[in-house]
Chains A and B, each alone.
Chain A
């Protein structure tokens, strides 16, 4: 028993994990409204009681940004929801986003003590509830900035890494400017993650909260083109720069037929829908083409987003083609589950070999071959090997390739002295420092394709490193007799 939870641990362990409210699968597969409604207040209070408030809270170690999870849950039990979200915000400035898109099942919830024998506390859904509560009740107050500093810091990219780094540095009193290449902020949260998983309204509100910290945001500004990194230092007077431009360049499989009309990269497909609102065409001006039968290639979250989007755009059959088995799929379990509920057909151990076009150069089918799993490869996963003579043809009119992205090369190619890897990522040390003093990098630009929360972790780490770097610089500039 604790002050906030009158139940004994044995009693807490008898409470079943609460299930979130969700839109009916049939209905939601035809609209872009949010799939999960999360917890209501009753479920939140019941679920919070399940937390054992462990002496050694493994969940905090499981969280890439180290949120005081038992601490915020205690506040939930006291019905101090705003206190709870403020507790989260001490470690993570974007709780409404993390509560929706974080893979809790492989982070905080995976290491929850209850997960060993029972089911873990639904930490993500609790986080989401308190964030949404604060939003709904309009109780947000920007943290007070205690000390203002003169140094200007530039953040390149307004995705999860950039927004987090901006929020952290602004709270430390720096003058922060974000440069965003697109016309709207959010990076992959805007162009990549669909409305039905992360409503744009939530993203807009979180962005407003960054602005409330007096962060300046330039959209329509491509660093490397509109101004270079060296110009930011020499002409704009920035003292440090955090690069967080993500992994925005699509890769293609390299099979015949990829340039036929009707073949999209996942980036193009999702950008048309999410950023440009093509699902409302012709009320919006950006079109998208969706066949009766659509195949999405890949097994990650992006592939899941694309195939579920295709279904919502009216595809009668939406296939997901993945060369390994379900076990190896990098997508979140929850997303795979949701996709199957919505009628997505998974074609596992299947690999496309060529795309077939019609007389007008339009996609008409995709040829695939069956695969079987062989020895583990360098990723530790069993390598898929083609089954001889297993080729078959699937009729489709739209194909989306979601086989991974790599970093955009514009900054690397216009910034002398910035070391990059063979994969095109910017090389950093564990503090997110790059090969050039004063330049830091993180998120997918440094990782090559990871999760929103790891990007946030990098943004936070970089903010600490930038703070240290600038403090050292300040100290070095002091006259030596002081």
Chain B
């Protein structure tokens, strides 16, 4: 069992968890993830490690409540326990000195970007960060990102905060005006990462993206996470989750990720009913 020691609501559907997992905390590197299973009926889902504290033996996860399992997790409180957490999994982000880098986070992807941006900063890079969200209330980790960035740009789709527009608009500005950008790191929804990769290609700037895929075990066993990189089959869980954005077949991955869309809704609705049912029972 893995005890939750602290929770913070970062945005209406986004919660930060600090969880006791001393072995994982010792070994975590930027770009690693864990597989989480909440209870005996639970599915295994991948969640990126946002941070860890080896001294206190805790790891940090930032979770957006989108499906059955993430909603159930986001309803959990400090003191509750998660049945299974395993990791750190995946190949860590290669951290090198590129000179100037741009770190682009979309939505909850900013949580996955933060440890990478921080590691890049610690490696001596000039870090320019772009944080995008649909609206102001969904902007997360702004102070944290600001603290480790040489410059931070915020964009919102609806213009309710920062600059109105997409992260790609801001990125294009930077690519056009800032000389010597050595690499771009983009994490967010697949369409965003695809758009970033399409944008940077003509500039010939190395672009790293982090792929979220279907996964069962997270250790290279199921092959559910297979993606096409430069025409070759790779497993996101062990070969990734980060890949060269210019080599990723995004369209195929987006279609694959829809495989269980309808069944995920079934599971989600059943969960909602069960919660409602519990409430009614307790009222009796």
Contact of A250 among B41, B44, B223, B260 (CB under 8 A): B223
Q: How far is the CA of A302 from the CA of B221 in the complex (A)?
A: 14
Q: How far is the CA of A226 from the CA of B68 in the complex (A)?
A: 28
Check if A196 is an interface residue, CB within 8 A of chain B. Answer: no
Residues of chain A lying within 8 A (CB to CB) of residue B226 = 252, 258-259
* Inter-subunit contact B221/A267 (CB<8 Å): yes
Contact of A221 among B23, B68, B259, B260 (CB under 8 A): B23
Check if B182 is an interface residue, CB within 8 A of chain A. Answer: no
Residues of chain B lying within 8 A (CB to CB) of residue A249 = 220-221, 223
Question: With A227-B27, A261-B258, A282-B270 as given contacts, are A409 and B220 in contact (CB-CB < 8 Å)?
Answer: yes
* Inter-subunit contact A410/B86 (CB<8 Å): no
Residues of chain A lying within 8 A (CB to CB) of residue B217 = 181-182, 271
Q: How far is the CA of A248 from the CA of B87 in the complex (A)?
A: 17
* Inter-subunit contact B89/A286 (CB<8 Å): no
Contact of B256 among A250, A259, A410 (CB under 8 A): A259
* Inter-subunit contact A261/B223 (CB<8 Å): no
Check if A265 is an interface residue, CB within 8 A of chain B. Answer: yes
Check if A289 is an interface residue, CB within 8 A of chain B. Answer: yes
Could you say which of B12-20, B102-110, B112-120, B261-269 contacts chain A?
A: B261-269
Check if B85 is an interface residue, CB within 8 A of chain A. Answer: yes
Within 8 A of B (CB), among A207-261: 219-222, 225-227, 248-250, 252, 258-259, 261
Check if B43 is an interface residue, CB within 8 A of chain A. Answer: yes
Check if B69 is an interface residue, CB within 8 A of chain A. Answer: yes
Residues of chain A lying within 8 A (CB to CB) of residue B258 = 261
* Inter-subunit contact B87/A222 (CB<8 Å): yes
Question: With A267-B222, A276-B43 as given contacts, are A289 and B263 in contact (CB-CB < 8 Å)?
Answer: yes
* Inter-subunit contact A183/B37 (CB<8 Å): yes
* Inter-subunit contact B87/A226 (CB<8 Å): yes
Check if B84 is an interface residue, CB within 8 A of chain A. Answer: yes
Residues of chain A lying within 8 A (CB to CB) of residue B224 = 264-265, 268
Q: How far is the CA of A220 from the CA of B19 in the complex (A)?
A: 15
Check if B81 is an interface residue, CB within 8 A of chain A. Answer: no
Main secondary structure of the interface of B (DSSP, over half): mixed
* Inter-subunit contact A271/B267 (CB<8 Å): no
* Inter-subunit contact A183/B219 (CB<8 Å): no
Question: With A182-B217, A249-B220 as given contacts, are A282 and B267 in contact (CB-CB < 8 Å)?
Answer: yes
* Inter-subunit contact B267/A361 (CB<8 Å): no
Residues of chain B lying within 8 A (CB to CB) of residue A282 = 263, 266-267, 270
* Inter-subunit contact B221/A408 (CB<8 Å): yes
Contact with A along B220-242 (1 / 0, CB 8 A): 11111010100001000010000
Contact with A along B37-58 (1 / 0, CB 8 A): 1000111100000000000000
Q: How far is the CA of A306 from the CA of B23 in the complex (A)?
A: 35
* Inter-subunit contact A220/B85 (CB<8 Å): yes
Check if B188 is an interface residue, CB within 8 A of chain A. Answer: no
Check if B276 is an interface residue, CB within 8 A of chain A. Answer: no
Give, as a whole number of angstroms, the nearest-CB distance from A252 to chain B.
6
Within 8 A of B (CB), among A259-289: 259, 261-262, 264-265, 267-268, 271-272, 275-277, 281-287, 289
* Inter-subunit contact A271/B222 (CB<8 Å): yes
Residues of chain B lying within 8 A (CB to CB) of residue A286 = 43-44, 216
Q: Which residue of A lies closest to B2 (CB)?
A: A220
**Given A249-B220, A408-B221, A410-B220, 17 additional A-B pairs, CB 8 A:** A182-B86, A182-B217, A183-B83, A221-B23, A222-B219, A226-B86, A226-B87, A249-B223, A261-B256, A268-B224, A272-B222, A282-B263, A287-B263, A289-B260, A361-B255, A408-B219, A409-B238
Contact sample, A vs B, 26 pairs, CB 8 Å cutoff: A181-B219, A182-B86, A219-B84, A222-B86, A225-B88, A226-B23, A226-B87, A226-B88, A249-B221, A249-B223, A252-B233, A265-B222, A267-B221, A268-B216, A272-B216, A276-B43, A281-B263, A282-B266, A285-B41, A285-B43, A285-B68, A287-B266, A289-B259, A360-B255, A409-B220, A409-B238
